[in-house]
Amino acid sequence: MAVIVIVGAQWGDEGKGKIVDVLTEKADCVARYQGGHNAGHTVVINNEKFILHIIPSGILHKGKPCIIGNGVVVDPLSLIEEIEGLKKRGIEVGNNLFLSKNAHLIMPYHSAIEREQEKLKGSKKIGTTGKGIGPAYVDKIARIGMRTGDLLYPEIFKEKLRTNLTHVNLILKSLYKAEGFDLDDVYREYMGYAERLSEYIADTDVILNKMIDEKKNLLFEGAQGTLLDVDHGTYPYVTSSSASAGGACTGLGVSPIKITKVIGIVKAYTTRVGEGPFPTEIKDSLGEKLREKGGEYGATTGRPRRCGWLDIVALRHAVRINGFSGLVITKLDILDGIKKIKICTAYKCDGKKYKEFPKELHLLERCEPVYEEFSGWEENTSGVKKFGNLPKEAQSYIKNIEKMLGVEIQIISSGQKRDEIIMTKELF
Ligand code: GDP
Ligand code: IMO
Ligand code: MG
């Protein structure tokens, strides 16, 4: 029996979806713990590509229950579309999907407020996905959020909505000079969603803890990554949830003492989408080459991802925050054919050397990377299934990362597909 948390170790898009899909084979249940439909988790099965936004990436395995936890923020229309899209492609979604009663709803005014806030920030904008994620979490913490459980009680739902719209409309109309929302319109819209979603709404903490008592294998899927975590990321250029391992406990209602492993997903280089500091960003044609070869375009917004070298300073921070018991390296194949590969081992700023990830944004923004250079490899590593079959330079790249981080690399991904993987350790 194992309870495994899968966490992005960088700025998201590390390939969490692929790894969760692969590990689901031996799991009894997969649960998402935070974020919303800002996430885009890509899974490729036999040349067919699926992008999951809030449904756990385990859904593509028949008969494995999937849970959307209380820590997730849910846009009901987006969820309905995701369910319908999967069903149309022959994926079973019914009594295998459970949506926490305590998950907060993204309301239409959340994306409206976010749009106005980003506009006002001008050049200081976060570069959000525009899905209303931040304002939905603001309402949750401000104790005025609407939850999926409220959809089951129309009168209570309407009363909460009435109170919220009074102040939301004041903000939108008076402050932002934008359009407000009509109570009856929003109420009717959401009651329509209630009809479609009520069959999934459940006490997910009870379901999960029962499975833990029954010694089942559970997989908890994080969205985004540690450097986008609201507490531990490059604040304020972060998302609004706890993407790191701790978020799995609060976001699912599972005690920390029940977690048996925390696995960090690390892309063999670094990417970031949206604004914010990125010390190892490659701004020349090599960055573009990585973007094209790696298909580094947002799975949710289609925006080009910024690309850079692997950053050990940032990763050591992620190791510390999450206490990774093991690591997965993805997209090693994208580095094939690059003559010299760099790894950032420290930062330099104002003549001072930094080994630890600076907390101050103004400092981090000015940090220059200190690199160690490694020989690349010419061979094609796509689809390699055994560590010993990797070129020796690729083996040494992996071994160096392992040494620098002090955590074992237990899986290496060598392509998009399920079987393009090197499993040096069974996690379940
Ligand atoms: P996530 O948000 O962490 O699930 O990652 P995304 O799905 O947004 O981005 C990762 C992309 O890389 C997807 O298109 C995956 O299909 C792809 N991918 C994952 N692992 C590998 C790999 O080892 N090699 C290659 N070439 N692509 C991979
Ligand atoms: P997955 O789960 C990469 C980024 C946005 C923006 C910042 C805040 O696929 O790895 P938000 O809409 O969340 O308020 O935007 O966070 N961001 C992601 N970047 N992968 C993601 O998810 C992301 N989800 C949000 O680009 O910089
Ligand atoms: Mg993604």
Q: What is the pLDDT of residues 334-387, one digit of tens each?
A: 999 999 999 999 999 999 999 999 999 999 999 999 999 999 999 999 999 999
* Ligand 1 midpoint to CA 84 (Å): 23
> Which ligand 1 atom is the nearest neighbour of the CA of 42?
7
Nearest Cα neighbor of 300 from 135, 108, 131, 75 is 131
Q: Which residues of the chain are under the pLDDT cut of 50?
A: none
Question: For 355, phi and psi rounded to 5 degrees?
Answer: -100, -25
Tell me which residues have their CB closer than 6 angstroms to ligand 1: 8, 12-18, 40-42, 44, 295, 299, 330-331, 333-334, 413-416
Hey, what CATH topology would domain 104-197 get? Adenylosuccinate Synthetase, subunit A; domain 2 (1.10.300)
Beta-strand pair 218-221/306-308: unpaired
| DSSP-assigned letter for residue 337 | T
Atom of ligand 1 nearest to the CA of 43: 16
Compute φ and ψ for 37, nearest 5 degrees: -85, 20
Q: What separation in Å is there between the alpha carbon of 417 and the centre of ligand 1?
A: 9
Instruction: Give Cβ neighbours of residue 94 (< 8 Å, ≥ 6 apart).
Output: 199
Domain spans, the chain: 3-94+203-423, 104-197
Residues carrying an active site annotation: 13, 41
Q: What predicted TM-score, i.e. pTM, was given to this entire model?
A: 0.98
The residue whose C-alpha atom lies closest to atom 13 belonging to ligand 2 is: 239
Q: Which ligand is nearest to the CA of 51?
A: 1
Architecture of the domain whose range is 3-94+203-423? Alpha-Beta Complex (3.90)
Which own/partner contact pairs does 41-44 have at CB distance under 8 Å and 24+ positions apart?
41/16, 41/17, 41/221, 41/223, 41/299, 42/17, 42/18, 42/299, 42/416, 43/17, 43/18, 44/18, 44/416, 44/417, 44/418
Q: Which phi and psi (to 5°) does residue 306 adopt?
A: -75, 140
The closest residue, in CA terms, to atom 17 on ligand 1 is 416
Per-residue pLDDT, 127: 96
Which residue from 128, 265, 278 has its CB within 8 A of the most atoms of ligand 2, so it is best to mutate? 128
Query: What residues are paired with 308 via a beta bridge?
Result: 270, 281
Q: Which of 239, 330, 333, 409 to probe ligand 1 with, by most ligand atoms within 8 A of CB?
A: 330
Q: Kindly give the number of the ligand 1 atom that is closest to the alpha carbon of 412.
A: 23
Pocket lining for ligand 2, CB < 6 angstroms: 8, 11-13, 35, 38-41, 126-129, 131, 133-134, 223-225, 228, 239-240, 273-274, 299
Tell me the C-alpha to C-alpha distance, in Å, between residue 242 and each of 6, 72, 134, 250, 311. 13, 10, 12, 9, 21
Q: Which atom of ligand 2 is nearest to the CA of 14?
A: 10
* Centre of ligand 3 from the C-alpha of residue 178, in Å: 31
Beta strands at 73-74 and 104-105: parallel, antiparallel or unpaired: parallel
- Distance (angstroms) between ligand 1 centre and the Cα of 335 equals 14
Closest CA to 324 of 257, 407, 382, 258: 407
For residue 117, the tally of other CB atoms under 10 A from its CB is 15
Contacts for 284 with CB less than 8 Å, ≥ 6 apart: none
- Residue 40 Cα to ligand 1 midpoint, Å, equals 10
Q: Give dist(CA 294, CA 299) in Å, integer.
A: 12
- How many Å lie between the centroid of ligand 2 and the Cα of residue 227? 10
Query: Which ligand is closest in space to the CA of residue 39?
Result: 2
Nearest CA to ligand 1 atom 25: 415
